Structure 1
Amino acid sequence: MATVKQEQYLTSVIDATTSDSNEIRLSPGSNDFDLFTINLENHNGGVHRYQTTGLTILYEAIGTTKTKINGQAFTISAGNIILLQKKSEYEVEKQGKKDLLVKIELSQRLSEQFTLKKKQRFSGQEKAVIDHISKLMTTNRLLNLNCSAMSRSSQIMKKIIDEYLNQNLFVENMVLAELSILFVAALRNKDFEKAPTAAPKFAQTALEQYIDENFADVTLNEAAKHFGLNPNYFSTLVKQKTGKSFVEHVDERRMQEARNLLARPDISVKEIITRVGYNGKSFFYKKFGEYYHETPVQMRAELFRQANINLK
């Protein structure tokens, strides 16, 4: 699909919709496609508010859209690409009738593969760029690729949309390769825009959100660094502000996730232990017993009973 034809098609989808929903879901060329979904921003007026459920790419195909992302104002112009982390909040505040904002929501499977810190070979200078970008993503919860409409990254984005719509052979391999090239091209050309890097202000809600997103592999040192604090001071501050230690907060979130996973018959207890961030069965069982006063097997049996699940 040529670029002009693709943009005409996407615009026609918006023009033809009779729905008053804020987003218009595009159907993939194949029902088996599960790498990501694509939504178009509807032109139905008002402020549209969202929270991302996974890594999300905002791409302005045509025109200009005024947004607010994680409390910061952004004007997204044609060709611009913004990568948002999971549970980022954003608002679409103003959009003209000819503007075209495309939103690509990556599946969990693709999110796990798609990372700036993939184990690849980098030179010293390349590694410094990767580390800088990763720090920006952690601090600002977004990466703003300030590309032009004619940039290589923008052209590759159009190819990715085309793959989604047409579903040619080897589409998954092609999409993964094009996503990698897209961001490498942006890094090479230094298209990323530096946002303010002030450390997040510590608050219990911010702590809970950080743990919610990182509980499986978080450490106190990493959390302290995220909030721009000395680890010892951070540990004391958490205890003073919340009445619980940092480790207690992490264990509590892990136990909540373990309970959620136990309700699923397709996941073994062994896999649950790994998913929630524990290294050994005995330690997990000990923590679980302290928190719930029963074993994971006992809780699973009760959850299955409540859901009328019989595996016999």
Structure 2
Amino acid sequence: MHSKVLDRLLFKEDPVEKLQKETGKNVNDVHIDFNSGQTPQIPSQRYFQNSNIFINKHHRYSYMPAHTHDFIELNYMYSGHCRQYINDEPVALHAGNVILMDKDIVQKIDYVGESDILINILIKDDSILANVLNTLAQSTSLVTQFLVNASKVHAIHNNYILFDAQKNEVAQHLIDSLIIRGLGNDGSNAREVNLLLSLLLNELSHSIEAETHNFESGTDDLLQILQYIDQHFQTVSLAGIGRHFGYNSNYIGNKIKAETGFSFQSLVNRKRVSLAKQLLAETDYPIARIASEVGFSNASSLSKLFSKQIGYTPGVFRQRRHVLDVPRISRTLES
């Protein structure tokens, strides 16, 4: 059961919907050429200026012509129904259905009417691995393997998974919370949106209705390597991973770079900074202790990396979070 507040928000007609309702024509608000004879790609830069996750409502009273994109897309049927075509295969979505689509899929959406509320959740390419490393790495579910495959530079990217979350109250609550936190996309709730999405993807793994994929489940070393990095990121090294998996360290490093587009050290640093941000926001730990918690020998090393990735120091980050009145948990420091 959705909240009345969310219902009012989503059923309210936006300017594009009003125009499409009045004219009976599709408003090309993405400003791409659908008439060239080739399937156009929607430019990702229009969506990810404030955050690595973009959430909006699909405009009603029209259709969406065939297109592709270079980001992951999650479509949620909040109300009503619609028919989508995924690589020319018809997929019917009913209220409570969620479809997770890989990059490079050819997608089009038939006409949606007044009661048909479809939510688009777009996930930027470089945040896919962050979701896997931060929350999903302990899972071997099809969803995790889907995301690992989606993160690969050289892979087939025309996969999708259909979920039926209609009877999954936890998933329904997470999706509603995700919409409330993320709709508008000003970036102020970026961390909460990322966390909610990770929890949602994990929960949806219990509600798979149908899927099509072009990767072998459970046979890829990359997922195991990512899990190992997640578990040992404070002290992990290429040599250590090589010994654990029985490979030369150069081979492991080249494999990570070739398949993900990120170097081994970049993945480790992203994990460390992500945890540092969480500890800065949620605890009163001194920065020196946070540096130690995430694998640095001193605070200056963390500050240098943090400034490079985030744009300012850990101290400034904590002050900004405090100004935004984000609650922090005071914890007794261990002696």
Q: Could you tell me the TM-score, scaled by structure 2's length?
A: 0.47
| Counterpart position of 2:8 | 8
Three-state SS of the structure 2 residue aligned to 1:13 is coil
Aligned: 1:99 with 2:116: yes
Relative to 1, partners in 2 of residues 1:136 and 1:69: Cα closer, same or farther, differing over 3 Å?
farther
Separation in structure 1 between the aligned mates of residue 263 and residue 185 of structure 2, nearest angstrom: 40
Relative to 1, partners in 2 of residues 1:96 and 1:114: Cα closer, same or farther, differing over 3 Å?
same
Relative to 1, partners in 2 of residues 1:192 and 1:139: Cα closer, same or farther, differing over 3 Å?
farther
Separation in structure 2 between the aligned mates of residue 181 and residue 277 of structure 1, nearest angstrom: 24
| Counterpart position of 2:19 | 18
Three-state SS of the structure 2 residue aligned to 1:33 is coil
Relative to 1, partners in 2 of residues 1:41 and 1:23: Cα closer, same or farther, differing over 3 Å?
farther
Separation in structure 2 between the aligned mates of residue 274 and residue 74 of structure 1, nearest angstrom: 30
Q: 1:183 aligns with which of 179, 184, 201?
A: 201
Q: 1:77 aligns with which of 78, 87, 94?
A: 94
CA contact (8 A) 1:79 1:151 kept: no
CA contact (8 A) 1:67 1:94 kept: no
CA contact (8 A) 1:61 1:79 kept: yes
Relative to 1, partners in 2 of residues 1:127 and 1:90: Cα closer, same or farther, differing over 3 Å?
same
Aligned: 1:56 with 2:73: yes
Q: 2:182 aligns with which of 149, 164, 175?
A: 164
| Counterpart position of 1:151 | 169
Render the CA deviation track for 1:239-294: whole Å, top value 9, x for unaligned: xxxxxxxxxxxxxxxxxxxxxxxxxxxxxxxxx99997899xxxxxxxxxxxxxxx
State the one-letter code of the partner of 1:18: L
CA contact (8 A) 1:50 1:89 kept: yes
1:63 CA displacement: 0.6
Separation in structure 1 between the aligned mates of residue 172 and residue 158 of structure 2, nearest angstrom: 22
Q: Over the residues paired in the alignment, what is the CA RMSD in angstroms?
A: 4.3
1:103 CA displacement: 0.8
Q: Which runs of 5+ in 1 are unaligned?
A: 25-30, 200-216, 218-271, 280-312
Relative to 1, partners in 2 of residues 1:108 and 1:95: Cα closer, same or farther, differing over 3 Å?
same
Three-state SS of the structure 2 residue aligned to 1:185 is helix
Relative to 1, partners in 2 of residues 1:127 and 1:36: Cα closer, same or farther, differing over 3 Å?
closer
Three-state SS of the structure 2 residue aligned to 1:112 is helix
Three-state SS of the structure 2 residue aligned to 1:127 is coil
CA contact (8 A) 1:53 1:86 kept: yes
CA contact (8 A) 1:140 1:195 kept: no
Aligned residues: 197
Q: Could you tell me the TM-score, scaled by structure 1's length?
A: 0.50
Aligned: 1:195 with 2:241: no
Query: Percent identity, aligned pairs only?
Result: 13
Aligned: 1:127 with 2:128: no
State the one-letter code of the partner of 1:79: G
| Counterpart position of 1:42 | 59
Q: Which runs of 5+ in 2 are unaligned?
A: 21-25, 31-47, 151-155, 216-221, 223-256, 265-335
Separation in structure 2 between the aligned mates of residue 42 and residue 111 of structure 1, nearest angstrom: 26
